[in-house]
A and B are shown apart, each in its own frame.
Chain A
Amino acid sequence: MQRHLISAADLTRDDAVLILDTAEEMARVADRPIKKLPTLRGRTIVNLFFEDSTRTRISFEAAEKRLSADVINFTAKGSSVSKGESLKDTAQTLEAMGVDAVVIRHGASGAPYRLANSGWIDAVVVNAGDGTHQHPTQALLDAFTMRRRLIGPDAGLGQDLDGKRITLVGDVLHSRVARSNVDLLHTLGAEVTLVAPPTLLPVGIETWPCEVSYDLDSTLPKSDAVMMLRVQRERMNAAFFPTEREYSRRYGLDGDRMARMPEHAIVMHPGPMVRGMEITAEVADSDRCTVVEQVANGVSIRMAVLYLLLGGNEPAVTHPRTEEK
């Protein structure tokens, strides 16, 4: 595995399976009365968030705390960044305080890559979402959710997603989740189809390792998982689609459409959902929808990633198990 986690495309199949398997171990920790491992005791992780994202930050924070790391939360609002401090100076300031890893969320595509590759700092960099580029831990938690649901928590160990048919629907153009998922799912052997109005697909998509369709209804019966991407209402004003209602009619997932999916197929959403836009309440609240599960899995995946990047050779779970006795 590479030293940093910047893009889902940087992961090999074996890297990804190792992360999923490790996350499975981490998930078991969550079922115990004491949900904490000493693995990263004495290590300091900063959550460097230049964009508001309560759920991702909290998920990382929970993961870090369960691994016993010392956690510093840094949000750009009200900080020196809002007074014009550069990314470089902010990062160097934090590293001078003895930070081992930087979890960064930034509105500019490539900011985590720059942080990891410009010689500014030595710390491990984990991308928690950059612009419209990548969100690799989201893709990992999505793959983890698919493997658990479509293969099984135990049966899935050591397995990839070979031959699984995954459909992503919505604003692909502005979605780092879509980019990360296409990369990772392809690496894991899944067959990916993207469905969106042509305005919300990027020019240049033809080289992506996936299929592209404008027609949701014909894709649904051939899907093992359908992931709905959030569509911001503001896109309407930039003429990406005529009205919210037309978008919903053509690309939203409601009960009727869900009924066209195979019985075992699941509905996913990275959150936050825009109910009534890309997904109806009926679908969001159904048993087939994994939104809440994805949140729980997010903590396990982030524990696994931080453990593998920072934990070195110490076994993750075996040790603490004996300690707990």
Chain B
Amino acid sequence: MSKILIRGAKVLGGEPQDVLIDGGTIAAVGAGLSAGGAEVVEADGKVLLPGLVDLHTHLREPGREDSETVLTGTRAAASGGYTTVFAMANTFPVADTAGVVEQVWRLGQEHGYCDVQPIGAVTVGLEGKKLAELGAMHESAAGVTVFSDDGKCVHDAVIMRRALEYVKAFGGVVAQHAQEPRLTEGAEMNEGIVSAELGLGGWPAVAEESIIARDVLLADHVGSRVHICHLSTAGSVEIVRWAKSRGIAVTAEVTPHHLLLTDELVRTYNPVYKVNPPLRTERDVMALREALADGTIDIVATDHAPHPHEDKDCEWAAAAMGMVGLETALSVVQETMVDTGLLDWAGVADRMSVKPAQIGQATGHGRPVSAGEPANLTLVDTAYRGLVEPAGFASRSRNTPYEGRELPGRVTHTWLRGKATLVDGKLT
């Protein structure tokens, strides 16, 4: 592997520096480094971050290769500046056995665009009844440490308790999709002023908050750690804040779309805005931003959820829930957190790389940009502003809520252990 000199990059948004990559490792960081024989990338004031880590991606393979595959999903990830994605377990078949998680992991290795760390299902078939073989998935080649029934809530309190306890044996963590099922029967959008007018089934905030409250108390009781997926309400923020103040081992994620979009958009009945959990209110959006800034919410995770066109080109009730997010996440975070002054680039690196890598135990990712560290890096042109054009996505699916919206920031380069996966905005 050749040497690369990134010249004049603002490392974590700081003063411009040169970064020399040798093989898979950062060889040196400093001012006026000599190129030697290295290939030179003129960063020209762009921001250099550790490669992004997404704790919540749906790659759809196996089973729904019409919407995404490990290949197209990891290419989308590299385009968005990611060097690791955690692949959710709700595939067909469900990733509830060592065999399925190893297959997904191996596909990621073969394609080489991005490390793929499979998430194992908590329960067999995501049915919430019987624990999947969590230990076997952990001991497999995939080395699963994060378990989730995402898409469904582990709603049975006893099953959740057992799962939280069981994974302690090998340092695992359960990532909960907090959705009380009875309170969300027939739910189609956030329950409130807009749902009342539109006549769409209400999805109350309390359906999320009650599960989070239960689970932080369970985690406290059994001395486990718990991770909350896609936290979406101001009330959830309050509960997590309270739990952290009590020393409970809880971490939480927020999606880019919940940092930017509100349920007012549902007035168009355009299913591109249909997502689980649903878009909430302006008040929730502001609370989520504040919580991400003050660390109550630990990380940004995309919940990248590809769907084929026909599953969105229909009436609201018939549409699938979810949005693609890998290729727009950093832009949305810049728009909502950096350009608003809530977070600096070091903060972005922390929320989108360092912390997610820690929660998911992604070795070699989310490391400091300094000599001797693995060369997992992302270069961002933060001065750029442009319209989101889904036609240019590397993802197989186009179900983005940002089509035609102007957003800041563009990832120009991504390096995975020193190998460029994205150069000048083009996949290698």
Query: Which A residues lie at the B interface, using CB under 8 A?
Result: 86-88, 106-111, 113-114, 117-118, 130-134, 176, 179, 202-208
Residue among A108, A205, A207 with most chain B CB within 10 A = A108
Within B196-216, the residues touching A (CB, 8 Å) are: 196-200, 202, 204
Residues of chain B with a CB closer than 8 A to A110's CB:
198-200, 269, 315-317
Q: Is B31 an interface residue (CB 8 A)?
A: no
Q: Mark B336-357, 1 if CB is under 8 A from A, else 0.
A: 0000000000000000000000
Contact across chains for A204 and B194 when beta carbons are under 8 A apart: yes
Chain B 171-195: CB-based contact to A (< 8 A → 1; otherwise 0)? 0000000000000000010011111
Measured between C-beta atoms, what is the minimum distance from B159 to chain A in Å? 26
Interface centre among A86, A111, A114, A207 (most CB of B within 10 A): A114
Whether the pair B316, A86 counts as a contact (CB closer than 8 A) is no
Q: Give the shortest distance, in Å, between B327 (CB) and chain A (any CB).
A: 24
- Docked Cα-Cα span, A205 to B270, in Å, equals 23
Asked if B199 and A134 make an inter-chain contact with CB atoms under 8 angstroms apart, the answer reads yes
Complex CA–CA separation, A113 to B266 (angstroms): 12
A179 to B204, CA, bound (A): 20
Q: Cβ of A88 and Cβ of B269 under 8 Å apart?
A: no
Chain B residues near A107 (CB-CB < 8 A): 317
Tell me whether A207 and B193 are in contact in the complex, defined as CB-CB below 8 angstroms, given that A110-B198, A110-B269 are known contacts. Answer: yes
Whole-angstrom distance between the Cβ of B360 and the nearest chain A Cβ: 36
Within 8 Å of chain A (Cβ to Cβ): is B313? yes
CA distance A37 to B193 in the complex (A): 43
Q: Which of B270, B310, B314 has the most CB of A within 10 A?
A: B314
Whether the Cβ atoms of A204 and B315 lie closer than 8 Å is no
| Given A87-B318, A88-B313, A106-B315, also A204-B191 (CB < 8 A) | yes
A residues less than 8 Å from B200 (CB atoms): 109-110, 131-133
| A-B CB contact pairs (8 Å), 5 listed | A86-B313, A88-B314, A114-B270, A133-B200, A206-B193
CB closest residue in chain A, given B190? A204
A107-B317, A117-B268 as given contacts; A203 in contact with B198, CB under 8 Å: no
Q: Closest Cβ of chain B: how far from A201's Cβ, in Å?
A: 9
Bound Cα distance from A133 to B197, whole angstroms: 7
Residues of A within 8 A of B199 (CB): 109-110, 130-134, 176, 179
Q: Which listed residue, B269, B270, B314, touches A86 by the CB 8 Å rule?
A: B314
A207 to B318, CA, bound (A): 28
**Closest A residue to B195 using CB positions:** A204
Cβ-closest chain B residue relative to A107:
B317
A156 to B193, CA, bound (A): 34
Distance, CA A202 to CA B200, complexed state (A): 10
Chain B contacts for A111, CB-based, 8 A: 315-317
Contact A203 B315 (CB under 8 A): no
A203 proximity list for chain B (CB < 8 A): 191-192, 195-196, 202, 204
Give bound CA distance, A131 to B318, whole Å. 12
Quick one: which of B239-273 are within 8 Å of A by CB? Answer: 268-270
B contact set with A: CB distance below 8 Å = 188, 191-200, 202, 204, 268-270, 310, 313-318
B310 in contact with A86 (CB, 8 Å): yes
Whether B196 pairs with A202 at a CB distance below 8 angstroms is yes
Q: Which residues of B contact A176 (CB under 8 A)?
A: 199
Given known A132-B199, A202-B202, A203-B202, contact A109–B193 (CB-CB < 8 A): no
Instruction: Report how far A88 CA is from B271 CA in the complex, Å.
Output: 14
7 extra A-B contacts, CB within 8 A, seeds A106-B315, A111-B317, A203-B204: A86-B314, A109-B269, A131-B200, A133-B198, A134-B199, A176-B199, A203-B195
In the complex, A204 Cα to B201 Cα: how many Å?
Answer: 12
Output the residue of A131, A179, A208 with the most chain B CB within 10 A. A131
Contact A109–B314 (Cβ < 8 Å): no
Q: Closest approach, in angstroms, between the C-beta of A275 and any C-beta of chain B?
A: 26
Chain B positions within 8 Å of A132 at CB level: 199-200
Option from A117, A130, A204 in Cβ contact (under 8 Å) with B193: A204
Minimal Cβ-Cβ distance residue in A for B189? A109
Q: Determine whether the beta carbon of B317 is less than 8 Å from that of A131.
A: yes
Contact of B197 among A87, A130, A204 (CB under 8 A): A204
Complex Cα distance, B37 from A59, in Å, reads: 83
Contacts of B317 in A (CB 8 A): 107-111, 131
Q: Which residues of A contact B188 (CB under 8 A)?
A: 109
A residues within 8 A CB of B314? 86-88, 114
Complex: chain A residue closest to B200, CB-CB: A109
With A131-B317, A203-B204 as given contacts, are A109 and B198 in contact (CB-CB < 8 Å)? yes
- Chain A neighbourhood of B193, CB < 8 A: 204, 206-207
A residues less than 8 Å from B196 (CB atoms): 202-205, 207-208
Does B197 lie within 8 Å of A179, measured CB to CB? Answer: yes
Nearest chain B CB to A65 CB, angstrom units:
29
Q: Closest approach, in angstroms, between the C-beta of A119 and any C-beta of chain B?
A: 10
The 9 closest A-B pairs by CB, nearest first: A204-B196, A110-B269, A133-B199, A108-B317, A132-B199, A202-B196, A109-B199, A204-B193, A111-B315
A-side contacts of B268, CB under 8 Å: 113, 117
State the Cβ distance, B359 to closest chain A Cβ, in Å: 34
Chain B residue nearest to A202 (CB atoms) is B196
Q: Nearest residue in B to A120 (C-beta to C-beta)?
A: B313
CB distance from A236 to the nearest CB of B (A): 16
In the complex formed, the residue of B with least CB distance to A204 is B196
Assess whether A108 is in contact with B197, with CB atoms less than 8 Å apart: no
B313: chain A residues within 8 A (beta carbon): 86, 88, 118
Name A113's closest neighbour in chain B (CB-CB).
B269
Docked Cα-Cα span, A106 to B317, in Å, equals 11
CA of A51 to CA of B233 in the docked complex: distance in angstroms?
35
CA distance A114 to B316 in the complex (A): 8
Q: Could you tell me the distance in whole angstroms from the C-beta of B395 to the nearest C-beta in chain A?
A: 22
A176 to B104, CA, bound (A): 47
Residues from chain B with a CB closer than 8 A to the CB of A205 are 196
The CB with the most chain A CB atoms within 10 A, among B191, B194, B200, B315, is that of: B315
Chain A residues with CB under 8 A of B198 = 109-110, 133
Shortest CB distance B281–A (Å): 10
Minimum CB–CB distance for B259 against chain A, Å: 23
Kindly state the separation between the CA atoms of A130 and B196 in the bound complex, as whole angstroms. 14
Within the complex, what minimum Cβ distance (angstroms) separates B198 from chain A? Answer: 6
